[in-house]
Amino acid sequence: MDRTIVYPGSIPLDTDMLRMNRNTMVALGALIQAVLGSTTVVDGLVVSPIAPNSLSVSVAPGSITTSAVVDAQAFGSLGADSDALMKMGINLEATTLVLSPTATAGQSVAWLIEAAFVEMDSNPIMLPYYNAGNPTQPWLGPNNGGSSQPTARVQQVQLQARAGVPAQTGSQVPPAVDAGWVGLAVVTVAYGQSAIGASSISSFAGTPSLCYSLPQLRPGFCSMQAFAASGSFVVPNGVAMARATVIGGGGAGGTHSTLPGGGGGAGGRAIGIITGLAPGEIIAVTVGTGGAASATPAQGGPGGTSSFGTYLSATGGGGGGGGTNAQPNAGGAGGAGVGGTMNEGGSFGTDCVTQAAKGGDGGGPGGGRGSTGALAGTAGTGPGGGGGGGGCSQVGGGVGSSGANGAAGLVIVEY
């Protein structure tokens, strides 16, 4: 920030103080742009009914930040400066706007409440001036003319309410936003209505509101939510980006009538970063179930698909081989990740080993173990792990045992 230098014994100039004011404003404008960017931003200025209810609404204190120039006209003895600068208009007190209903029965009118940045010279005062001819008797105003001069250049929020064209209730629309203004809310007033309540006020879709303040911002991904069952992720305040990891359910191990079964495949995995989220946004989370093993001779059931909204998903692993055909049983295929920045296939379940009467192991971390002999396989335990295949009562044939269930998938959201 530029600073003015003054010296002991030098005659102070009015421009010394004016430059300090301008330099401070320029520095704040640069800071505003670094934090909020160079587009118009509204903070506060919430439109609400007045208690007790009447045909008026209150616009709460707030600010509007927009792109302007340093000084469109001379600032005291300093000339105009057309360099671009972000400026902030501030209203410290609530403003009341009076509305009215339409005069035609069956009709309503939609009022648009809009705001704009305004900068103006104000607080005129008749200033005393130095009188060289008689220093004890100051002049009143420039050249002793008795005129007042503005003593402050203020930056505020200008507010106004504009009525749309009255129309049949339900078909009324507000007027278009004026150039240089931003819409804050739409207030609908029906014929004969005597008071405005909260139900009459709706937010304006195009308001460039500040969604969160600086203390609400989070550095990187510092929080995590893990979903072991399907649900919803609600985007917290201050969050515009999240990293999601999606793992599909594991396939079940196979069950064979006379041979060991194959192990279930692991669920696929997808990892991605999602941007452009809005606080309060609800994103559906689906967690794939683990594949179910059959108590009778059959291939193991596949794992279910996991997903994070429509952004990314991962299919479940395939079930291990089983049934009644007199042939070795293969392990189930792994699932696949879809839509992520990184998409991984789940590992295959292993094939059975007939010579050892051993069922195949489940694929993936936490995959279940295939059993040996007349024992059922063990279930998958880790997210997306495949279930183990059932063993066989004797080498080379006998009575097969049941495979085991695959593990459920998992969805992890970091924000």
Q: Round to whole Å and give the CA distance between 342 and 277.
A: 20
Q: How many CB atoms lie within 10 A of CB 68?
A: 17
User: Could you read off the pLDDT of 38-86 as tens digits, one per residue?
Assistant: 999 999 999 999 988 899 999 999 999 999 999 999 999 999 999 999 9
Helix (H) or strand (E) holding 47: strand 47-49
- At 107 the pLDDT is 96
- Tell me, rounded to whole angstroms, the distance of Cα 217 from its chain centroid: 11
- At 211 the pLDDT is 72
How deeply is 356 buried, as exposed, middle or buried, from its count of CB atoms within 10 A (0-12, 13-18, 19+)? middle
DSSP 220-289: SS--EEEESS-EEEEPPTT--EEEEEEEPPPPPPPBBSSSPPPPPPPP-EEEEEEE---TT-EEEEE-PP
- Tell me, rounded to whole angstroms, the distance of Cα 254 from its chain centroid: 44
Q: Round to whole Å and give the CA distance between 246 and 315.
A: 9
Residue entry with tokens 């295949």:
389
Between vectors from CA 97 to CA 96 and to CA 99, what angle results, nearest 5°?
Answer: 140
Residues 174, 187 contacting (CB under 8 angstroms): no
Domain spans of the chain, in order of start = 14-26+38-203, 215-415
- At 237 the pLDDT is 82
* Nearest to 115, CA basis, from 173, 37, 165, 178: 178
- Tell me, rounded to whole angstroms, the distance of Cα 228 from its chain centroid: 23
- At 205 the pLDDT is 87
- Tell me, rounded to whole angstroms, the distance of Cα 42 from its chain centroid: 17
- At 212 the pLDDT is 67
pLDDT tens, residue order, the chain (415 aa) = 899 898 999 988 999 999 999 999 999 999 999 988 999 999 999 999 998 889 999 999 999 999 999 999 999 999 999 999 999 999 999 999 999 999 999 999 999 999 999 999 999 999 999 999 999 999 999 999 999 999 999 999 999 999 999 999 999 999 999 999 999 999 999 999 999 999 999 999 889 988 767 666 666 788 999 999 999 999 988 788 999 999 999 999 999 999 999 999 999 999 999 999 998 999 999 999 999 999 999 999 999 999 999 999 999 999 999 999 988 999 999 999 999 999 999 999 999 999 899 999 999 999 999 999 889 999 999 899 999 988 898 876 789 999 999 999 999 999 9
User: Measured on CA atoms in the order 191, 193, 198, 204, is the torsion positive or negative?
Assistant: positive
Q: Round to whole Å and give the CA distance between 37 and 96.
A: 30
- At 240 the pLDDT is 87
User: Could you read off the pLDDT of 241-258 as tens digits, one per residue?
Assistant: 999 999 999 999 999 999
The residues pairing with 160 across neighbouring beta strands, listed in sequence order, are 114
How deeply is 105 buried, as exposed, middle or buried, from its count of CB atoms within 10 A (0-12, 13-18, 19+)? exposed
